[in-house]
Amino acid sequence: MCVSGPVLRSVVVFLLLGVSYSKRRCNYSEILDSYRELIFVELQNLNLTGNFDTSKERDCCPSGKVQHVLRSIHGMTQQFLCQGRGQGIRQQGGMEKPVEMMEQLIRQNCRHTDLVRRQKRAAPCVTSQRTKRKKKKRMRLIRALIHCWQKLQSVYMPTK
């Protein structure tokens, strides 16, 4: 039996697409293991891992679903890094490194389409003028990120 080239190529492409889209959307266990090993240690070194009183603030990752919490974390890392690109704030206590590590970790272990919210487009990077407000906002974002990582760890329990 002889199969033509274009037919064979299209079958191979469909098989490859099927395999790539059939695997899990995000490798949650890899994300959480790497977070505990690398990022959490970095946050501890910066004394940023204490329990924060978040009762006054709105819940930054309200959903109990792992994918939604991870999406919230990714959005906050984008926002934090976006705020740091403006003028005025340079290396604010070394917080950029763990946040960049968070973003890279999520990007490496998740497909891009799973990180993008379908309803909204990402807002462009807008920098505010006042440095004091930026610092407070960035600290709030760090606290929210830590809170969401804790929530992600409590929500995700790998099935064995």
Q: Does the residue 5 lie in any domain?
A: no
pLDDT band at 81 (very low <50, low <70, confident <90, very high): confident
Q: Does the residue 19 lie in any domain?
A: no
pLDDT at 87: 47
What is the span of the domain harbouring residue 42? Answer: 26-155
Token digits of residue 17: 């697409």
Higher pLDDT, 110 or 3: 110
Q: Does the residue 131 lie in any domain?
A: yes
Q: Does the residue 21 lie in any domain?
A: no
Angle of the 96-109 helix axis to the 131-155 helix axis, nearest 10:
40
Token digits of residue 159: 């099935």
Query: What is the total count of domains within the chain?
Result: 1
Residues 6+ apart with CB under 8 A from 56: none
Q: How far is CA 29 from the centre of its chain?
A: 14
On the question of pLDDT at 129 being above 80, the answer is no
pLDDT at 124: 58
Q: Does the residue 78 lie in any domain?
A: yes
User: Region 113-122: what's the mean pLDDT?
Assistant: 57
Q: Does the residue 10 lie in any domain?
A: no
On the question of pLDDT at 133 being above 60, the answer is yes
Q: Does the residue 4 lie in any domain?
A: no
Name the residue among 115, 118, 121, 122 with its Cα closest to residue 67. 115
Q: What is the pLDDT of residues 33-68, one digit of tens each?
A: 999 888 888 888 888 776 655 555 667 777 778 888
Q: Does the residue 40 lie in any domain?
A: yes
pLDDT at 22: 46
